[in-house]
A and B are shown apart, each in its own frame.
Chain A
């Protein structure tokens, strides 16, 4: 596979469930991101990992827990979510940091519904 892949594509869960979203990038990038996309809102950056270290956490509730075991994989562990957490969760990756142009490549997203 090429590019950025995400599984599952759709997920329905109850508020007491624990689930995980998976993202994999096949581009050799060293930075990965989780975004939340809700209707009529800007994309919300949740977490940034660079060289497998978390460099950004935008005040995300602790019921979302990211994990980056290596530069190609990124997980988002979910537990005791709320209905307002229902959204499209997008993963992205990019190469490098610093004062240079770094396009982000996006995955297809996981459509999450919390009942």
Chain B
């Protein structure tokens, strides 16, 4: 079975500080893609960052970076210099190719950035 676990339902961080959201997943496949999606209070979900499982180098997008540990099946998201606009639900997900692009999502982490 394919599962994604986000063990932190809610988190908060002071503006300008750094926060790390955890994610673990389970799959027997070796080839997959990992994602972090952000869903602000307006509800439109947008992609934050992505990682190909075959790449060892951790992905980085401006203030967002991941710590991908394939052996441990861990894919955490680090947000540096947190901004008020980062307040949102964050979903971890992975996708298996050749499965109709089926995504598997976690339950989400609600992040609040405190001014």
**Interface residue ranges, A against B (CB under 8 Å):** 31, 33, 40-43, 45, 48, 50, 55-56, 88, 90, 92, 94, 97-109
Contacts and interface: CB of A to CB of B under 8 A. Distances in A.
Contact of A108 (B42, B95, B104): B42
Nearest to A99: B97
A102 B33 CA distance: 9
A97 B101 contact: yes
B107 A40 contact: yes
B21 to A, nearest CB: 15
Nearest to B93: A43
B97 A106 contact: no
Contacts of A88: 43
Interface of B: 4, 9, 31, 33, 35, 37, 42-47, 50, 52, 91, 93, 95, 97-98, 100-108
Nearest to B91: A43
B9 to A, nearest CB: 7
A29 B7 CA distance: 33
Contact of B44 (A31, A40, A97, A108): A108
B43 A50 contact: no
Contacts of A31: 100-101
Which one of B44, B93, B101, B107 has the greatest number of beta carbons of chain A within 10 Å? B101
B107 A98 contact: no
A55 B101 CA distance: 10
B43 A42 contact: no
A108 B40 CA distance: 10
A42 B101 contact: no
Contacts of B104: 42
Which one of B9, B31, B103, B107 has the greatest number of beta carbons of chain A within 10 Å? B103
Given A43-B105, A102-B95, 13 more contacts: A31-B100, A31-B101, A33-B101, A40-B107, A42-B105, A48-B101, A56-B102, A88-B43, A97-B100, A98-B97, A99-B97, A106-B44, A108-B42
Nearest to A3: B44
B31 A99 contact: yes
A90 to B, nearest CB: 7
Contacts of A100: 97
